[in-house]
Each structure stands twice: as structure tokens, then as C-alpha cells.
Amino acid sequence: MERKNILFLCTGNSCRSQIAEAWTGYLRKDLFIPYSAGVNPGVVDINAVKVMNEVGIDISQNQAKHVDSLAGMRFDYVVTVCDHANETCPFFPGNTRRIHQSFDDPPKLAAGLDEKAALGIYRRVRDEIKGFVESMPDVFMIIKETV
């Protein structure tokens, strides 16, 4: 079976989309070629790096990139992982299937917390994203049946 190109899109491409890309490359590399980008990219969140390192996945060398840097690429799926990205998602030509699966924003929820509490939030979101990635083939089959 041919692997499908999948793009995880978020506002900053600093946390949730980076985590989703990493989990997909780790858990679903047999089915997908993962990418991530943002509509207003920043820098990769150090706490996202920490919690991914805890599960043996190194994203410390990743860089946040703008969705425009992927212009011309064909994506089978685009998954928006935050509401802002869903609202501002650019048009992707062809048979691209767009899916919205919003996750809590760890930097926002962790603002002002000590490191232990902050990392707890990042871990929770990391694990929720992992669960979504693990279910992706089933989720996408349901989408195909309803479209």
C-alpha cells in the first residue's frame, strides 16, 4: 500500500503539530509520510521537546515552518490540531481530505505554572495526540465512507 502524505497544521507549529508529526513518524510510518506546519510559526516549544524525549522521540532539531513553505506538495490528509488553524486553513487542491481534531494548547494552559505542573499538561496532550494517531486509519476510513 502506498503511504499517504499527511500534514498536521497548527497556529505556531511549535507544539501540537510537532508532536503529531513525530508520533505519526514513529507509530504510523508504514501508512503515512508526516509533515507539520503553522499558519503563524514560532519556535519549537522546549516543553514539547522534553515530553517527547520522555517517550524516546527526539524533536529537538525540528524547526517551525510556515504552511506556505510546503506549497506545491500534494497532501492526502490535512489535520488541523487547533481551532485557529482550522479557521485559517488554506485551500489544498486535489483530493485532500481535511480533518479537524482540536487539542488543548499546552503553553496557554501551563502559563504561570511551575515546571512539574506544566509538564503534566504537556504529557496529557502528548498522550491524547498519540491516541488520535493510533486511531488514524479507522478515523480516515469513517471519513471516506461519509464523503
Which residues of the chain fall short of a pLDDT of 50?
142-147
Catalytically annotated residues: 10, 82, 89
Provide the edge-to-edge strand list for the sheet that holds 4-10. 32-38, 4-10, 77-80, 97-100
H-run or E-run covering 80: strand 77-80
pLDDT at 13: 94
Amino acid (one-letter) located at 81:
V
The pairs formed by 96-101 with CB atoms below 8 angstroms and a separation of 24 or more are 97/140, 97/143, 97/144, 97/147, 99/139, 99/140, 99/143, 101/132
Residue 132's SS3 state is helix
pLDDT of residue 71: 87
Q: What angle do CA 10, 31, 146 make, to 5 degrees?
A: 70
Residue 54 CA to residue 22 CA, distance in Å, equals 13
Instruction: Give the H or E element holding residue 118.
Output: helix 115-146
CA nearest 11: which of 50, 52, 51, 42? 42
pLDDT at residue 74 in the model? 92
Q: What's the confidence (pLDDT) of residue 34? A: 97
Q: Which domain holds residue 108?
A: 4-146
Count: domains in the chain = 1
Residue 147's pLDDT is 43
- Taking alpha carbons only, the member of 1, 40, 31, 28 closest to residue 129 is 28
The CATH number assigned to the domain holding 14 equals 3.40.50.2300
